[in-house]
Amino acid sequence: MNYAAVIAEYNPFHNGHAWQLEQARALGAGRIAVFMSCGLTQRGSLPLLPEPVRAKAALLSGADLVFALPAPYACAGAELFARAGVALAAAAGCDSLVFGAEDPDPALLMTAAKLLAGPDYPAALHRALEKGARNFAQARQMAVENLCPGGAVSRLLDKPNNNLAVEYCKAIVELKAPLTPCPLPRRGAQHGETRPGPADAGFASASALRALWNEGSAGALAAYLPEGVLPLYPEARQAGEFTDPAAESLALLSLLRMRAHQPGGFGGVRGLSEGLEHRLADGVRQAVSLGQLWDLLTTVRYPRARMRRLCMDAALGYGEALPIPPLPPYLHLLGGRRAALGLLGRASLPASPSLAKLARETPACAACARAQGSASDLAALCRPRPAPMGLCFTQKPVLL
């Protein structure tokens, strides 16, 4: 391992993330590039803190370069999220991918990945769906168990970090990416835990830290943050540079209601199938809060996370209104250590700290930048101190 990649949200950055970067160094990484969700997150929401704050936290804690995982891919299911991140890591010239997993067995994770990427999987998945699987996740597990009986491989897919880890490995296989998978055990709090653990333990999930923040104090996060990062969060709070959940809810519902009145309604939004556009339209007509809308849409067949992403896609027009390239077409540098900037010369995609410059490279770059702009402009509006449009095109990189 020489030039390691990490795909992350850092929503917000905490001790568990710092530990992962430390472990990458311990495994031999001379340089580390982070590919960080930009503008949106995988849970279908705006990130708590803007990109410069999250990028600086990563750089202060051991990262050398921080690139954007553009919004349309950051706000996506595990398959596209992983595929986009792996494609960017390979394009940046990285030789390994470091990630967390509940079961950090690279051979077992790769076995699962090859099954999912193999020629027999689609038919096995179809059979599982015909047999009455409650949802796609259960059908996928049933298909893997059918292809590889015994339970060891299929049980991997019961856990959230394992699921994403398998998708990383599958993307490496399918894209023929020259990346060695390096899984690490998840340290401290489990994914999605809503309350932090003991302060003296020093670890809390990002979900728990967002909950603490929304209770009114950036200082309450201090026990779970690396020392060098501590000043960043109170500064962001004082400056009003964080997402206000109430403003986000109102803005999304407003956009969705306007979309509901347009000719064609929600037709053409990516991810819509099986008449889901009618379910979404009915929910938008009834809901008076974003949480209520998610409740109306969520079923055993349609998981809440998918519905949250669908609502965001519909609000921003991702699909026919804002076409999304299959994979990110550029490397947008959000920040870096000056000593590592020479690594940009390895890139096989257009690479720059200027999104405006990248948008002029190709039609695909222009389309991706427009989609990024829509998300970033929404985020800039949903803060205690709103910012004007277009900042993602003029934002300077964080350099240390």
Chain segment 270-328, per-residue pLDDT in tens: 988 878 999 999 999 999 999 999 999 999 889 999 999 999 999 999 999 999 999 99
pLDDT digits (tens, 9 = 90+) for 116-137: 999 999 999 999 888 878 888 8
DSSP output for 52-74: HHHHHHHHHTT-SEEEEE-HHHH
Per-residue pLDDT at 197: 54
Instruction: Mark whether 64 and 32 lie in a shared domain.
Output: yes
Residues 6+ apart with CB under 8 A from 331: 67, 88, 91, 92, 344, 347, 349, 350, 351, 352
CA gap 71, 88 in Å, rounded:
14
| Separation of alpha carbons 148 and 112, rounded Å | 9
Q: Are 80 and 318 in contact (CB under 8 A)?
A: no
Q: Last residue of a domain, which of 257, 289, 316?
A: 316
- Has residue 321 been placed in a domain? no
Q: Over 60: is that where the pLDDT of 190 sits?
A: no
Distance CA 179, CA 96 (A): 4
Out of 197-206, 207-216, 279-288, 353-362, least confident range: 197-206
AA letter at 190: Q
Q: Which of 258, 287, 316 is the last residue of a domain?
A: 316
CA–CA separation, 51 and 38 (whole Å): 6
pTM of the model as a whole: 0.95
214 and 359 fall within a common domain: yes
**CA–CA gap between residue 265 and residue 254 (Å, rounded):** 14
Q: What is the pLDDT of residue 208?
A: 92
Q: pLDDT for 246-260, tens place per residue?
A: 999 999 999 999 999
Domain count, the chain: 3
**pLDDT averaged over every residue in the chain:** 93
